[in-house]
Amino acid sequence: MEEEKRASAEFLMDEVSPRPSTSSLPQFEKTATPTPPSTKEQIVTCAWIALNTVATICLIFLSKKVFSDAQLKACQLMVVMWHFAATGLVLYISTRAPFRVFKAVRLSPWQMAPVCAFFAGYVILGNLSLTYNSIGFYQLAKVMTTPCVVLLNFVLFRKTITRYMLAAIVAICIGVALTIRASAQTQLFGVIIAVMAFTSTALYQIWIGKKIEDFEVSGPQLLLNQAPLSVILLVPFVPFFDKMPDVHAIPTDIILALCASGIMASLLNLSQFLIIGRTSALTFNVVGHLKTILILSFGWYSDGTILSDKEIAGIVLALGGGWVYSHLSMNRKK
């Protein structure tokens, strides 16, 4: 035990080489012989879940406030770069003493480039969706990521699901369709961006799962490599897509919201992987659906939206279908 402590007292950057992939599903670091968690471990896990929930809700509302400013709305890439930089910094700090949440590894930048491109694409499109859609519609559209993953897995890898899982997927699609009607009539561009956002998210999730297994690393280890590299990859595109803002003309509360959004983005990225590592993907899915309900409620409340009976039915179908699919999916893997 003393030797292990001395060995972990030094920070090492290991070179990791990929190996041939046999599955597209991510493998997270777990102990070989799991033991019942102690009271202290349960408290720590609950703290990470609470942090993840708070970070998710805060990030959405902070980003909505940031993009309400006309200048920052035209600086999508620079805002994303700030979020990536903050994420990389927080992840790096978490590998150092006294935290040592996980061990850092060094991956090949050339082999990381494609996954960084997917990473940047899904974040940028997600921000655009949040910019041109209400918080409620933005969050509900994200539920469509699950059906999109299923479809892409079938097209790319010929993976099939059970009829009950298919029924849950159909329920999700019908539910979102019932709530999308009013938005489609007034914000067609926002709907198109939302579709592109959840499609790119699905592609990223599939690709990231494959790379986690290829490199035999955990999610945070991969994210620590891809976050700073994503910033570098976006730099050449900034002059073509962004307009340099006049910082002095941006209100102070917007600047503070921008700074806080970077911190929330980093805490969100770190906590979501730690929740899966400490519990299970099923627990994370349940937490995710609870967050969706909270965000939808806060979003519609802040927008002063009064939901119709059809929209309420759509929300129940979409969230219920997502919850059922999560349970069926995890039971199938056991």
Neighbours of 153 (CB within 10 A): 17
Does the pLDDT at position 213 exceed 90? no
Residues 6+ apart with CB under 8 A from 49: 271, 275, 287
Q: Give the model's pLDDT for residue 36.
A: 60
DSSP-assigned states of every residue in 12-32: --EEE-----S-SS------S
Alpha-carbon distance values, 313 to 68, 107, 172, 319 (Å): 30, 47, 11, 10
Does the pLDDT at position 284 exceed 70? no
pLDDT band at residue 278 using 50, 70 and 90 as cut-offs: low
The answer, as to whether pTM is greater than 0.85, is no
DSSP code of residue 103: -
Does the pLDDT at position 194 exceed 80? yes
* SS3 of residue 243 by DSSP: coil
Higher pLDDT, 318 or 288: 318
Residues 6+ apart with CB under 8 A from 168: 321, 322, 324, 325, 328
Q: Which tens digit of pLDDT belongs to each residue from 91-126?
A: 899 898 888 888 899 998 888 888 888 888 888 898
Residue 149: what residue type?
A: V
C-alpha count within 13 angstroms, C-beta hemisphere, residue 285: 18
202 closest CA partner among 149, 157, 158? 149
Q: Ramachandran region of residue 98, left (φ > 0), alpha (ψ -120 to 50) or beta? A: alpha
Beta bridge partners of residue 107, listed in sequence order:
16
Domain parsing of the chain, residue ranges:
41-101+111-333
Rounded CA gap, 146 and 202, in Å? 7
pLDDT band at residue 334 using 50, 70 and 90 as cut-offs: low
Q: How many residues does the chain have?
A: 334
* SS3 of residue 105 by DSSP: strand
Q: What is the rounded end-to-end Cα distance, in angstroms, of the chain? A: 33
Over its C-alpha atoms, the chain yields an Rg (Å, rounded) of 20
Q: Give the model's pLDDT for residue 250.
A: 93
Q: Which tens digit of pLDDT belongs to each residue from 4-44?
A: 444 444 433 444 445 444 444 444 444 445 556 677 777 87
Q: Which tens digit of pLDDT belongs to each residue from 224-256?
A: 998 999 999 889 889 888 989 998 999 999 999
Rounded CA gap, 77 and 247, in Å? 16
